Amino acid sequence: MSPASRLAGREAFVVGSGPNGLTAAILLARAGMVVTVLEAQPTIGGGARSAALTLPGFTHDLCSAVHPLAAASPAFAQMPLADYGLEWIHPPVAAAHPLDDGSAVTLVRSVDATADGLAADGEAYRHAVAPMVARWPDLLSGILAPPHLPAHPLLLARFGVYALPSASFVFTRLFRTAGARALLGGVAAHSILPLDAWGSAAMGWVLTLAAHAAGWPMPRGGAQQITAALASYLRSLSGIPARRAGVLRPRAARAAANCGGAPAGLVLPQAGAIPPGTGRFQSGLGAECADSLAQPGVRPRRHGPPVRNARGD
């Protein structure tokens, strides 16, 4: 009997309706399980939520806003999320880092155009990035998987040489200019690790490679659209014979009380089955998010096309 057929008809509870919880629920529902997603908050979506917080006509993301790894996600690639309303907006500039002299360095889709903007560090950037961009699908499947025997050990080893040390170590040795160091260091800071911590270079490389391979898109309508598409797709699975879809319960206070402090997206085989030690789980470091109302037509220094605001105008 295949693993999927062993799951069919059994009941599962997914704690947390963030993007990971909904993705887990969809995979379980597709395996034929009867899935219930439990959510403590009044609205579903976890970090992928949006709301009208300021002026009329503006939608603000409450947490995540730009989604390179959603666009590159092998899990999302297997789901018909476009059919459920998810549309990606690709800005012409993924990221820009202003420098003290008033100029800026920019990360764009093209490796060559990005390297050209890094002056004396252009060749070092190209040398580091281009081979990994060329093998991006193989590299991504290697780094997203749990510990395993790698299918592409040399590629993963190359990535490890660049990614395992701290961001400050790698980017000050690899680059000479403030621009290249600032660009990669700023991208690495997304991990919320201190930049002198081991492994803090990794997120800098992953997001930079993703910018070249898949872009740094945002969902039209805000991050909530990721949640809406995942939830709609999850509900639709109930229409498939022998496969039951998840039920979204916006206020699951009982689950929140039972497993407070549990990792988000925890999948329980049955209600109340909290694995030992789950209650001691420590969440990661917090982060601040600041929103502003952007005027259309803001232009970066080095690359011509106007930067779009959150609505894609």
Ligand X SMILES: Cc1cc2nc3c(=O)[nH]c(=O)nc-3n(C[C@H](O)[C@H](O)[C@H](O)COP(=O)(O)OP(=O)(O)OC[C@H]3O[C@@H](n4cnc5c(N)ncnc54)[C@H](O)[C@@H]3O)c2cc1C
- CB of 129 closer than 8 Å to CB of 122: no
Q: Given the complex with ligand X, which of 65 and 104 has the nearer CB atom?
A: 65
Q: Given the complex with ligand X, which of 41 and 232 has the nearer CB atom?
A: 41
Q: Given the complex with ligand X, which of 65 and 108 has the nearer CB atom?
A: 65
User: Count of CB atoms within 10 A of residue 77's CB?
Assistant: 10
Q: Given the complex with ligand X, which of 38 and 237 has the nearer CB atom?
A: 38
Beta bridge partners of 248: 37
User: Rounded to a whole number, what is the distance in angstroms from the first to the last CA of the chain?
Assistant: 52
Q: Given the complex with ligand X, which of 66 and 139 has the nearer CB atom?
A: 66
Smallest separation, CB 260 to ligand X (Å): 6
Q: Give the single-character DSSP code of 65.
A: -
Smallest separation, CB 196 to ligand X (Å): 21
Q: Given the complex with ligand X, which of 37 and 108 has the nearer CB atom?
A: 37
Of 140, 116, 133, nearest to 209 (Cα)? 133
Q: Given the complex with ligand X, which of 29 and 65 has the nearer CB atom?
A: 65
Smallest separation, CB 183 to ligand X (Å): 17
Strands (E), 99-250: 104-108, 218-219, 247-249
Which tokens sit at 21? 């919880």
- CB of 12 closer than 8 Å to CB of 28: yes
Smallest separation, CB 78 to ligand X (Å): 17
Q: How far is CA 73 from CA 1, 81, 105, 265, 276, in A?
A: 29, 12, 27, 17, 30
Smallest separation, CB 4 to ligand X (Å): 23
Smallest separation, CB 255 to ligand X (Å): 4
Smallest separation, CB 95 to ligand X (Å): 11
Q: How far apart are CA 152 and CA 137, in angstroms?
A: 11
Using DSSP bridges, classify how beta strands 218-219 and 88-89 pair: parallel, antiparallel or unpaired: antiparallel
- Residue numbers of the site for ligand X (CB under 6 A)? 15-21, 38-41, 46-48, 63-67, 69, 252, 255-256, 259-260, 262, 264-265, 287, 289
Using DSSP bridges, classify how beta strands 50-51 and 34-38 pair: parallel, antiparallel or unpaired: unpaired
Angle at 54 between CA 51 and CA 60, to 5 degrees: 35
Q: Given the complex with ligand X, which of 174 and 264 has the nearer CB atom?
A: 264
Using DSSP bridges, classify how beta strands 34-38 and 247-249 pair: parallel, antiparallel or unpaired: parallel
Of 214, 112, 128, nearest to 163 (Cα)? 128
Smallest separation, CB 130 to ligand X (Å): 24
